[in-house]
Structure 1
Amino acid sequence: MNSSGLVGVFGGSFDPPHLGHVEVVKSFWENFQNAQELLIIPNHISPWKQNKKTSPELILDLVQAQFQNFPNTKVWDWEIKRETPSYTEATILELLNIKPDAVLTLLIGEDNYSEFHKWKNWENILDKLHSLLVFRRFSESIPPNENLQKFQNKIVFLQNRIIEAASVDLREELPKCILDNRKPIALSNEVWDIILKNRSYT
């Protein structure tokens, strides 16, 4: 795949960002070295999840710290500053409004890939994209989603290193970790330092 001019779109809660996210970003840049940029887009409220307790300001600080050393990797705060659920279609349309010549590729986990046909206006999303990059979370080999058959030529499966980490589990684990001053294995030093400093997730 010719990656020149490609803009990666990687959204999620990032509450908190962890080393599984880092492996996805590493895999993107290993496979698409000539991409123009990768946008990390923390959401405000996912349509599938409950409201966040963590402040947008803290999440942005954590995400910035986590990915600041990757070249051409930027944090875009458009979703997290909106007080409405974050729908991918709206984000893609806004990006194309800002960057009308952008060639967009969307990064999603295998769990979201299996449910992608249930997303709001999912076919319209795929029509707007150059490609859909699916990263591994649990499986060595990701089962195909038969509902996306007609878009098969747009789907690429990344071989990212699997890190057993989930933000929802980390949020439950962090209060005791902070009390014991014990960094979870799935967190980077940069993210852990900010969490400790702010006494967040307690």
Structure 2
Amino acid sequence: MNSSNLVGVFGGSFDPPHLGHAEVAASFWENFPNAKELLIIPNHTSPWKQNKKTSPELILDLVQAQFQNFPNTKVWDWEIKRETPSYTEETILELLKVTPGAKLSLLIGEDNYSEFHKWKNWENILDKVHSLLVFRRFSESTPQNQNLQKFKDKIVFLQNRIVEAASINLREELPKRILENRKPIALSDKVWDIILKNRSYSFED
């Protein structure tokens, strides 16, 4: 795939960001070393999930710490500052406005790929993006989605290293870990230090 003017679009809750997220970014750059940039886009509220308890400011700090060592990788705060549910179509349309001429490559996990045809205006999303990059979260093989068959030429399956981590599980685990000062293996030192400093994700939250 020609990566000229390619912009990766990697969204999610990132509450908190973990090493599994970092492996996705690493895989993107391994596959597209000449891409223009990778945008990390934390959402404020996912249509599929409950409202966050973690403040937008803290999530932005954590995400910046997690991805700061990757080249040409930026945190875009448009979604998290909107304070409304984040629909991918709206984000893509906004990105096309602010990055004219860019070829947008949307990164999603294999679980979201299986359900992609249930997303709001999913066909319009695939019409607008240059490619759909599917990364592995927990399975060695990527499930197929026959509903996306007509877009198969736009779909690329990444072979990123799988890190057994999920933000929802980390949020449940962190209060006890903080009390015991035991860093979860899925968190980077930088992210862990910020969590401890801010006393976020503790029992007091």
Alignment TM class, shorter chain as reference: over 0.9
Per-residue CA distance 1:84-122 (angstroms, 9 max, x = gap): 100000000000011121110000000100000000000
Supply the distance in 2 between the matched residues of 1:71 and 1:8 (Cα, whole angstroms).
12
Runs of 4+ in 1 over 3 A off after TM superposition: none
Partner-residue secondary structure (3-state), 2:105: strand
Aligned to 1:195: 195
- The two structures, once aligned, show a CA RMSD in angstroms of 0.4
Aligned length: 202
Scaled by the length of structure 2, the TM-score of the pair is: 0.98
Tell me by how many angstroms 1:139 deviates: 1.1
Tell me by how many angstroms 1:31 deviates: 0.2
Supply the distance in 2 between the matched residues of 1:44 and 1:83 (Cα, whole angstroms).
6
Aligned to 2:170: 170
Aligned to 2:119: 119
Aligned to 1:17: 17
Partner-residue secondary structure (3-state), 1:171: helix
Aligned to 1:96: 96
Scaled by the length of structure 1, the TM-score of the pair is: 0.99
Unaligned runs of 5+ in 1: none
Supply the distance in 2 between the matched residues of 1:153 and 1:77 (Cα, whole angstroms).
30
Per-residue CA distance 1:46-93 (angstroms, 9 max, x = gap): 000000000000000000000001110000000000011000000000
Partner-residue secondary structure (3-state), 2:38: strand
5 Å-filtered alignment, 1:1-202, equals 1-202=1-202
Partner-residue secondary structure (3-state), 2:126: helix
Supply the distance in 1 between the matched residues of 2:166 and 2:143 (Cα, whole angstroms).
20
Supply the distance in 2 between the matched residues of 1:131 and 1:102 (Cα, whole angstroms).
12
Per-residue CA distance 1:119-145 (angstroms, 9 max, x = gap): 000000000011000000111110210
Supply the distance in 2 between the matched residues of 1:167 and 1:139 (Cα, whole angstroms).
17
Unaligned runs of 5+ in 2: none
Supply the distance in 2 between the matched residues of 1:113 and 1:65 (Cα, whole angstroms).
28
Tell me by how many angstroms 1:195 deviates: 0.1
